Every structure is written in C-alpha cells, then in structure tokens.
Structure 1
Amino acid sequence: MNRGMNKADKTLLLVLVCFLTALALHLQYRDSVLAAAFLFASEAALVGGIADWFAVTALFRKPLGFPYHTAILPRRRDAFIQASVTLVQKEFFSKRKIFHHLERLHIMPMLMGWLREPATESRLVMQLVNYLRDFLLTQEAGKHSSVLAAKARDALNAIEPEDFFALWGSWLQQTGKDKAFVKRLAQYWHKQAATEEMRQNLQQMLEDYEAEKINDNPWAKLASFALQAVDLVNYGEAAQLMQKQILAMLEELGTEDSPLQQSLLGLFYEKSAELNHEPEFHQLVHELKDSLLRDLPLEPALEQIFTNLREHFLQDKAMDVDPLAEHMPALRSRLEELISLEYQKTLQLMEEDAELRKVISSFLFDVIARSALHAQQLIGVIVRSVLSGLTDEQLNRLVYDKVEPDLLWIRMNGSIVGASIGLVLFILFKLVA
C-alpha cells in the first residue's frame, strides 16, 4: 500500500502546512479573530485527518506500532476468508440466482445450433466411431462369437436353397462374374490340354477304345492290323488332331460373348432352373444345408478372427495408428456413413418431436442445475484455498486495491469535516462568549 504519496497523504500534508501557518499567524496576531478562526479550523482538520488516517491504516496494519485493536484484517483473516466464501456461495452462486440465470437460457435452440454445425457433426461422428472401435476391443471374443454364430446359423437356416441358387445365378449374370468364371476355367483347361501328357492320354484313350471293340472279334483284329500296317489308322495323329480341336474350343470358350460361351452359359442357366425344381435335388440340397449348419465350425472360426483382430488393433493403437483406417478403411468409411446418417435422423427427430425436445430440455436443465449446485461447494473450496495461501501483505493489498478510492476519500473527508466542524464550533464559542 506504500506506493508514494496519494491524494489523501497530500491533503493531510496540506492541512499540516495550513496548521503551521495558522499557528504562526495566531502567534503574530493574537487579537485577530480571523487568525484564531483559521487556527481553530486547521487544528480540527489536522486532528480529523490524522484520526481517519489512523482508522484506515489500523484496518491493515499497526499504525505507529500501536498494538491495540489494529491490523484488524490480518488478525481476523480466518473470519474474513469464511465471510468471503459464504458471500461467494450464498450470494454470487446462490440457488435462486443459478436457477434464475438458467431459466433465461434457451438451452434447446443453443444445443440444436451447436449440433447442426458441420465441425460438431464431424467431431462427434469420429468420436462415436472410435468409441465403437474401442468398445469392440474390450469385448470377450468367445461370448460374442457364440452370439454371432447363432445369428449366422439362424440367418442361413431361414434361406431356402432354391432361392439362394436363384439369387446367386441372378447375381452372376448381373455382375458378369459368370463370364469371368468361364474365362478363367477355359484358360486353366487350355493350359492343361496343351501339354504333351494330354496328347498321350488322348492317344491311349483311342487305343484302349480300339482294344475294347476288337477284343473278341478275330476279323476285327485282322482288319485293324491291316489298316495300321498301311498307315490308314494313326492314333498319334488322331490324338494330336483332337488336342488341337479341344484347344480351339477352349479358346473360343474363353473369349467373352463368343457363341460357344453364350451357348454354354445359356445351357447352364436353363439346366440349373430345371434342376432347381427337381424334388430329388430339393431334398439333397436341404440335407447338405442341414449338415453344413450342423458341422460348420463357426464359433472357433469367429473367435479366432476376433482374437487376431484384437491383437493387430492393440498393436496399432500402441503405435498411435488407427487400426480401422490402417487395415479396414472401407469398414471405417461405412461406419462413418451409417453413424452420420443416424446422427441426421436424430436431429430431424428432435426438431419434429416437441415432446422429445421438452424431455431433453428438462434433462439438460436438471443436469446443468445440479452441476452448478455442486460447483457451489467447489467454488467455496477454491476461494478458501486461494485466500488461505496469501500472505498478510498480499491479503491487505487484495482488499485495499478494491476499495482504495473510497478509503482515500474517507481520509480526505476527515480533514474536510474536521475543518468544517472546527469552524462551526469556533463561531459558536464566539457567539456564546
């Protein structure tokens, strides 16, 4: 508080100068009424200024070392701190004022405006995706594998094989996968048919066929021997010719939209449709489906998949890498799309349903009010902690800085009022005398 002379100190110094001047004039002119009045008023002003200086200073320290009932604020700091805590809690953060301010807030419009911001939507969608990812990482693989396996079996069991084959055939036609499959198959068999082993197998097949036909007929054996002798029948050349024809047929079969390919696919779909309506085929595929659902090891397979995914995801998280973005960008993108779509639906529902908005607004009001009331105690703790950590000098400075102009005027008013009262008393004494 000692930052040089302030206007109250200057006023007190001026009053002292006036008193000394008045005293000198009174000693010089003892019979002068004006000199006596000036001395009486300046003396009263000096006493009033000193008294108020003492009173103001005694609030914060011991003026001139006077020990009795001085340095009031440092001595009563505990009571002051408690009063400050009570003031903040009961007045600034009272329940009435908190509820009054909350009632003036338009919570739902503010919330809807915030939720409609693109940045808010993007941030919330990302947080939900990350939450879903982390939630899945914490789940027990065995338990969820059993649930998913049961759902998969129920879904497969609900599918009729005939409908499945019909859908599968339609999908093959629409996507062109049937042509790609036939092309790959033709290429594979073309590679196999072009080998020397294939030609030898064809020749051996022809020779075996001949042997089977002439086995018990001596005249057929004789004719075959004669034909081979004059080189009219050559099984090697016949096998080579058959191989060339097979390769040409496979090349045409592997050519997209070739007549042979179209004929083969048309025949396939035609016979598949006929086969799909055969009772024997119906019974066979249902038995195969039941056997597959019964023996398919879905649980261990899904559990192993979940375990491997968890290990890889945890390794990526340890390296600050998003596992979904790293290994499954399509899945993460799809999750973001689904969550964003549901987010928009939720906002639309909140805008259209007045009852829902009322419930949400009431819930938010209750949460904020309860939080504010709990914060009331927290604020009291903070105020107490801050004020208790201040030294006496810091506490004095904190209070003095807030009321310094008023304290200075109190001191100045002491001199002004003292001078006025002194002048009035002097006049009264003169009138009475």
Structure 2
Amino acid sequence: MGLLARTGLDRFNPAQGGARGMRIAATGLLVAMAAVYLLARSQEAAGPAFWGYVRAFAEAAMVGGLADWFAVTALFRHPLGLPIPHTAIIPRNKDRIGGALATFLRDNFLIPTVVARRMRRVDVAAAAGRFLAQPPSGEGRLREGASRLIATILESLDDDRLGGMVKGAVVARLKALDIAPLLGQSLRAAIAEDRHVPLLDSIITWAGRTLAANEAMIRDMVHNRAGAVMRWTGLDERLANAIVDGLYKLLSEMADDPAHPLRAKAEEGLATLALDLQYDPAMREKVARLKAEIIASPAVGAWIDGLWQQARDGLLRATRDPQAAMAGRFGEALRQLGETLQQDARLRATINQFARRAAVGAVAAYGDAIVRLVSDTIRGWDAQTVTDRLESAVGRDLQYIRINGTVVGGLVGVTIHAANAWL
C-alpha cells in the first residue's frame, strides 16, 4: 500500500462506493430475472401465451447477464475462484500491460519530432508574460507551493558545492571575457562625447591635494640633494619654493584652461590608449595578465563569495515570502518583464524557441529513462491491490455492461421466441 500511495493509485478510492452500488444493482437485476423466469415457467403451461414471452425474456436475460458477469469478472480474477484458462487477465499480464503502456508512451509522446510539433503550438513566453504581468487571484496556493518547493530545494542543496559551482561559473565567465576591447571602446566613446573631461578634472584635483599633502617631502628632497654652498646661502629653500609654486601654478592653469597644452597631451594619450586597447596585441595581452592577477587575488574571491551569499539569501527571502517579494522592486521588475514578454514579439519567439529546444532535448536525453521508469514501476506494483484499485476506478462502467447484457439478452430472447411462434 505504501508503494501505491507513492504512485497515486490510492486516489481511486472515491469511486469504490459507486462501483459497489452498480455491482449490487447488476446482481439484483440478474436475481430478479431468475425469479421472473421461475414465475413464468410455473404459469406458462396453464396460462396464456403471454407467459411464454416473459419466460423467453427472463431466460435470455439470465444468459446475457451471466455471460457478461463472466467476461467482466475474468478481466480481474478467476470467476468463482476456478482457474479457468484466459481469466484473471489483468493480474496475469500486469508486466506485459506495463511494457505496452511504456511503449505506447514512447512511440506516441516521447519522440523529439512529436514534442517539437506540439511545442510549436504552445506560446510559453506569452503565458509566462500574462502570469507575471497580472498574476491570477486564484494562484496564491500555487505560488506559495512553488515558493516552498524552491526554498526547500535551495536549502537542501549542499551550499559549498552549489556555491562552488556558481562561483566557478562566474570566474570562468570573467576569465573568458576579453576585457581590453571593451575598455577601449568605452574610452573612445567617452572621449567622443567629452565624458572624459570630469575624469581629467578629478585627476588634476587629486594631483593638487597630493602636492599639498607632500609639500614638506618635496622641500626635504631639494634640501638633501642640494650642495653645501646652496644650503649655506639658502638657495635650496628658494629652489624648493620655486618648484612647489610652479607645480601649483601649472595645476591651477590646467584646471582653469580647458585648452591647456598638457590637457591636450593627456587627451591625446587617452585616445592612443583607447586604440591600443582595441587593436594592439601587446596591450591586450598586458590587460589580460592584469585581469588574471586581479581575478586570482583573495579580495576578488571574497567579493564573489559575498555576491553568492547575497544572491542565495535574497532568493530564500523571496521564496519564503512571495507576497512581499512581489510587492517590492523585485515584483515590479517581474511585472515589467511580463509586459515586455507580451509586447516584444522577437523576445517571445526567442524564448519559445529556447523552450522548444529544451523540451526536445529533455525528451531525447531522458525519454528512454522515463519509459523504463513507467515499465519498472508497474512491474513493482502488487497485482491484487492494483486489480482492486483499477476495478474500483472503472467498475461502474463495467457493471453497466452487465446490466446492458441482461437487458439486450432478454430482448434477443423475446425476438427469437416470437419468431418461433409466428413461423
């Protein structure tokens, strides 16, 4: 019974009461025909010819009812417990039925061409867009159930292993990224739109602050490198003042004059750097080495670890409280995504194509495994219990067959009796 509970066959129990009632009705009709037959047989000799028709109807009805009872019973068990050949068909052929069902499933459903043809008629992207843009009010239980399932899966997975896979994928993606051309294109676009000017201004401001912070060090350097005569005459201090004042003046002029020659030289250098980043193999190799060193540094590793933990914690919070998640920025982003899916035909076509390929790929990769699962599961079922469950599920219709056989048999008997009486 535990296996049946896992496979879902115990859900057939609600139909058992209806099948039992129809079995009682069919059996009662058969008993009633037997009583009518006995009554008609006792009245036929001395009574009117009407009793002959009644006897013929009841006699043929008993034959038809008994024949259909035998046929229906033989599907599931041996009639009266007798080992009659070709009876108890379902218990004896349970494994063969399972194999035939699995073959039918494989030949009619789990074929890549069939799945692809059916998936072409399914607009997955539009359905997802409608659900995200305007979630139905009756989907609360579905959403909560899906959220609990996702949260359970996330919590049950090995955090170190899953996190290692995610972080490994991020690192591999960063390593595969050729960043030098991207930097060159971004720098070139910034220069073309004068978006580099604030950068130069910031560099000049930073240089002024650095000079002010290290003014004493510059004076000490001039004093230490000056000769004894210059120190004795005080020329070293005058030279240091001239150097510091000249640097301050240069930085001030560069800050005030956008057309300053040094600023033009800096812009020229930035333009050259943008070209080298895009087209110079040596520069691109240098940037690649620098990128590799940065990725291998412990600081970047800790940063990626933090990103993974934040993403995992955010997903868990969202799945534990889907209503709050849908009410915040995440929910607004999902609703915007749903509206985009409904409006953008090209995006829908791309997502539907991906869904179709994923379904076809899953069938191609796991179709045989699904077929084996169905076949092996049916083979593992208990024959008697499965028989009882299936009989309860379809028993109502089977008892109708017995009732119909009784009535039709009676009508055929009356017809034959009338033909004999008239001819």
Q: TM-score, normalised by structure 1?
A: 0.50
The partner residue of 2:54 within 30, 38, 45 is 38
State the shift of 1:173 in Å.
Answer: 7.2
Name the structure 1 match of 2:82: 66
Name the structure 2 match of 1:391: 382
Structure 2 CA distance for aligned equivalents of residues 63 and 47 of structure 1: 16
Name the structure 1 match of 2:418: 427
Give the 3 Å change call, closer, same or farther, for CA 370–136 of structure 1 in structure 2: closer
1:89 aligns with 2:106: yes
Give the 3 Å change call, closer, same or farther, for CA 175–66 of structure 1 in structure 2: same
| Contact preservation (8 Å) 1:12, 1:46 | no
Matches within 5 A, 1:227-238: none
Percent identical residues: 21
Structure 1 CA distance for aligned equivalents of residues 376 and 205 of structure 2: 76
The partner residue of 1:266 within 249, 254, 263 is 249
Structure 2 CA distance for aligned equivalents of residues 18 and 81 of structure 1: 39
Structure 2 CA distance for aligned equivalents of residues 394 and 14 of structure 1: 28
Name the structure 1 match of 2:318: none
State the shift of 1:49 in Å.
Answer: 0.8
State the shift of 1:412 in Å.
Answer: 0.8
Structure 1 CA distance for aligned equivalents of residues 63 and 119 of structure 2: 53
Give the 3 Å change call, closer, same or farther, for CA 106–268 of structure 1 in structure 2: closer
The partner residue of 1:11 within 26, 31, 52 is 26
1:180 aligns with 2:214: no
1:54 aligns with 2:83: no
State the shift of 1:139 in Å.
Answer: 9.9
Give the 3 Å change call, closer, same or farther, for CA 370–173 of structure 1 in structure 2: closer
- Partner amino acid, structure 1, of 2:248: L
| Contact preservation (8 Å) 1:58, 1:72 | yes
Structure 2 CA distance for aligned equivalents of residues 12 and 106 of structure 1: 52
Structure 2 CA distance for aligned equivalents of residues 182 and 95 of structure 1: 72
The C-alpha deviation readout for 1:370-424, integer Å capped at 9, x for no partner, is 4334444233223213312221133324543554343222111111112112222
Compare relative contact order (CA 8 Å, sep 6+) and give the higher one, 1 or 2.
Answer: 2
Find the residue that maps to 1:6 and give its secondary structure.
helix
- Partner amino acid, structure 2, of 1:38: V
- Partner amino acid, structure 1, of 2:416: L
1:306 aligns with 2:306: no
Name the structure 2 match of 1:413: 404
| Contact preservation (8 Å) 2:16, 2:393 | no
State the shift of 1:47 in Å.
Answer: 2.2
State the shift of 1:41 in Å.
Answer: 1.8
| Contact preservation (8 Å) 1:59, 1:71 | yes
Structure 2 CA distance for aligned equivalents of residues 322 and 132 of structure 1: 11
Give the 3 Å change call, closer, same or farther, for CA 361–15 of structure 1 in structure 2: closer
The partner residue of 2:368 within 365, 368, 377 is 377
Structure 2 CA distance for aligned equivalents of residues 102 and 382 of structure 1: 24
| Contact preservation (8 Å) 1:172, 1:178 | no
Contiguous gaps of at least 5 residues in structure 1 = 118-129, 156-166, 193-204, 211-242, 251-260, 277-292, 326-343
The C-alpha deviation readout for 1:315-336, integer Å capped at 9, x for no partner, is 8699x5679x9xxxxxxxxxxx
Give the 3 Å change call, closer, same or farther, for CA 413–95 of structure 1 in structure 2: farther
Give the 3 Å change call, closer, same or farther, for CA 363–29 of structure 1 in structure 2: closer
Give the 3 Å change call, closer, same or farther, for CA 317–358 of structure 1 in structure 2: closer
- Partner amino acid, structure 1, of 2:38: L
| Contact preservation (8 Å) 1:52, 1:410 | yes
Give the 3 Å change call, closer, same or farther, for CA 175–41 of structure 1 in structure 2: same
- Partner amino acid, structure 1, of 2:59: E
Give the 3 Å change call, closer, same or farther, for CA 71–311 of structure 1 in structure 2: same
| Contact preservation (8 Å) 1:137, 1:310 | no
Matches within 5 A, 1:92-171: 92-94=109-111, 97-106=114-123, 110=126, 134-135=168-169, 137=171, 171=200
State the shift of 1:53 in Å.
Answer: 0.6
Name the structure 2 match of 1:75: 92
| Contact preservation (8 Å) 1:12, 1:50 | no
Give the 3 Å change call, closer, same or farther, for CA 396–365 of structure 1 in structure 2: same
- Partner amino acid, structure 2, of 1:414: G
Name the structure 2 match of 1:120: none
Matches within 5 A, 1:299-338: 303=293, 306-309=296-299, 312=302, 320=309
Structure 2 CA distance for aligned equivalents of residues 138 and 95 of structure 1: 32
Q: CA RMSD in A?
A: 6.1
Give the 3 Å change call, closer, same or farther, for CA 102–430 of structure 1 in structure 2: same
Structure 2 CA distance for aligned equivalents of residues 28 and 132 of structure 1: 91
Q: How many residues align?
A: 306
Structure 1 CA distance for aligned equivalents of residues 128 and 28 of structure 2: 65
| Contact preservation (8 Å) 1:19, 1:39 | no
Structure 2 CA distance for aligned equivalents of residues 301 and 422 of structure 1: 96
Q: TM-score, normalised by structure 2?
A: 0.51
The C-alpha deviation readout for 1:54-73, integer Å capped at 9, x for no partner, is 11001100110121121011
Give the 3 Å change call, closer, same or farther, for CA 97–274 of structure 1 in structure 2: closer
Structure 2 CA distance for aligned equivalents of residues 96 and 267 of structure 1: 75
- Partner amino acid, structure 1, of 2:77: R
State the shift of 1:42 in Å.
Answer: 1.3
Name the structure 1 match of 2:42: 27
Find the residue that maps to 2:76 and give its secondary structure.
coil
Name the structure 2 match of 1:200: none
| Contact preservation (8 Å) 1:15, 1:42 | no
